[in-house]
Amino acid sequence: MKAAIFHGPKQDLTIEEVEVDNPMAREVLVKTVASGVCHSDLHFVDGFYQFPAPAILGHEAAGIVESVGPDVTEFAPGDHVIACLSAFCGHCDYCLTGQTHLCRSPEVRRSSTDPPKYTWNGDPVAQFANLSSYAEKMLVYENALVKIRDDMPLNQAALIGCGVTTGVGAALNTAKVEPGSTVAVFGAGGVGLSAIQGSLIAGARMIIAVDTVEAKLATARELGATHIVDASSGDPVEAIKNLTGGGADYTFEAIGLKLTAEQCFESIRRGGTATIIGMIPQGEKVELDGSSFLQEKKIQGSSMGSNRFRVDMPRYIDFYMQGRLKLDEMITRTGRLEDVNEAFRAMKAGEVTRTVLEFD
């Protein structure tokens, strides 16, 4: 099969012929139909986070089951599925207490004594996030998939695999935005737009989008923001406080920067909650005013929208089919696997919300 090989930070991915193994027990081979190009992959390409090379990146995908290994009972060839990096074992402490998104059990991956899932020129290729969707096929643990309705377009379904679940889930699951509340979202990329939509679904009465790119702010308006703040023309913290009368009930940081994480916290009212979604580079520290905690201000992280993806993703699909969750508007471009490096360039330049790579 064809796959985009990651050779290390600050290097272009190359399209190569890669061998994929047959499914072992509890594994499923999926024909990739669509893969979104997510900013999280760019963090590894740019070297802000480390991952061993060679590897196949990509983690936001939908496809069709091609074959299943022994002991797989929930999936069959022909099933339409969304892949999720929150692969779970189902019986560790996290899974048994409803936090499947925090499961890190080694049993969802092959052991070092098992044959590699992917090889290139006879050598093993690392799998990224238990998925590796920049490839024509994904060989994944069964609990990294959810079966979906056949009438759901797979290009749009791919977005639910990461960005949408991360942003919508941060609002609905992590922060639990209340009806009638005020919200500010820093960053109007794919995840930020999803947090805006999640806040709208939750019933927020004011949703403020913060960004520096005019086109992104316009899209945020289209997808549910009631107010916009151009952070390039003034202090967004003061703007949010002025709009809300002292600070938002909930704020979300969907960029992954120290500065915006601090601004996210500074923008909440007394008793408010700031949720950090973005991937702040490893080693960087976020500095907060200690006296703010006397006002019961809270800051928290969010991992993949605190998802229960086998429950959440079908719900998000229903929201989309009902017109309550807008996904078409988030796909700025489509391309082929060979266009992955251009997709990264366009993302860095702020030209796209999402590029979706389509496979035959």
pLDDT in tens, 243-265: 999 999 999 999 999 999 999 99
**What pLDDT, on a 0 to 100 scale, did the predictor assign at position 124?**
98
Sign for the CA dihedral angle at 149, 81, 108, 94 comes to negative
Q: Do 104 and 197 lie in a common domain? A: no
Q: Residue 190 and residue 49: Cα distance in Å, rounded?
A: 20
Measured CA angle at 261 (ends 260, 266), to 5 deg? 90
- Reply yes or no on whether the pLDDT at 203 is more than 90: yes
Q: Do 210 and 315 lie in a common domain? A: no
What is this structure's pTM? 0.96
Q: Residue 60 and residue 74: Cα distance in Å, rounded?
A: 21
Q: Where are the alpha helices (DSSP H) in 223-289?
A: 236-244, 258-266
- Reply yes or no on whether the pLDDT at 123 is more than 90: yes
- Confidence band of 180 (pLDDT split at 50, 70, 90): very high
**What pLDDT, on a 0 to 100 scale, did the predictor assign at position 89?**
97
Question: Is the CB of residue 301 less than 8 Å from the CB of residue 293?
Answer: no
Measured CA angle at 264 (ends 263, 266), to 5 deg? 60
Question: Is the CB of residue 316 less than 8 Å from the CB of residue 306?
Answer: no
Phi, psi of 220 (to 5 degrees): -60, -40
166 lies in some domain: no
**What pLDDT, on a 0 to 100 scale, did the predictor assign at position 360?**
83
**CATH number, residue 76:** 3.90.180.10
- Reply yes or no on whether the pLDDT at 267 is more than 90: yes
Average model confidence (pLDDT) across the chain: 97
Tell me which amino acid residue 174 is: T
- Of all residues in the chain, what percent carry a pLDDT higher than 70? 100
Q: Residue 199 and residue 254: Cα distance in Å, rounded?
A: 14
CA distances from 169 to 22, 63, 242, 308, 313 (A): 34, 22, 27, 9, 10
Catalytic residues: 38, 40, 43, 59, 162
What digits encode the pLDDT tens for the residues 142-172? 999 999 999 999 999 999 999 999 999 999 9
The domain of 45 spans 2-161+306-358
Range with the poorest average pLDDT among 11-15, 279-283, 308-312, 355-359:
279-283
User: Average pLDDT of 88-105?
Assistant: 97
Phi, psi of 10 (to 5 degrees): 65, 30
Q: Do 317 and 262 lie in a common domain? A: no
**Number of domains, the chain:** 2
171 lies in some domain: no
- Confidence band of 282 (pLDDT split at 50, 70, 90): confident
- Confidence band of 120 (pLDDT split at 50, 70, 90): very high
Q: Which bin fits 242, alpha (ψ -120 to 50), beta or left (φ > 0)?
A: alpha
Q: Do 156 and 214 lie in a common domain? A: no
Q: Do 220 and 116 lie in a common domain? A: no
167 lies in some domain: no
- Confidence band of 337 (pLDDT split at 50, 70, 90): very high
Question: Is the CB of residue 289 less than 8 Å from the CB of residue 268?
Answer: no
User: Average pLDDT of 299-322?
Assistant: 98
User: Average pLDDT of 91-95?
Assistant: 97
Q: Do 125 and 148 lie in a common domain? A: yes
Q: Is residue 164 within a helix (H) or strand (E), and if so which, with residue range?
A: none
What digits encode the pLDDT tens for the residues 23-32? 999 999 999 9
What digits encode the pLDDT tens for the residues 221-251? 999 999 999 999 999 999 999 999 999 999 9
Question: Is the CB of residue 195 less than 8 Å from the CB of residue 277?
Answer: yes
Residue among 267, 285, 325, 23 nearest 145 (CA): 23
17 lies in some domain: yes
Q: Do 153 and 14 lie in a common domain? A: yes
**CATH number, residue 232:** 3.40.50.720
Question: Is the CB of residue 143 less than 8 Å from the CB of residue 76?
Answer: no
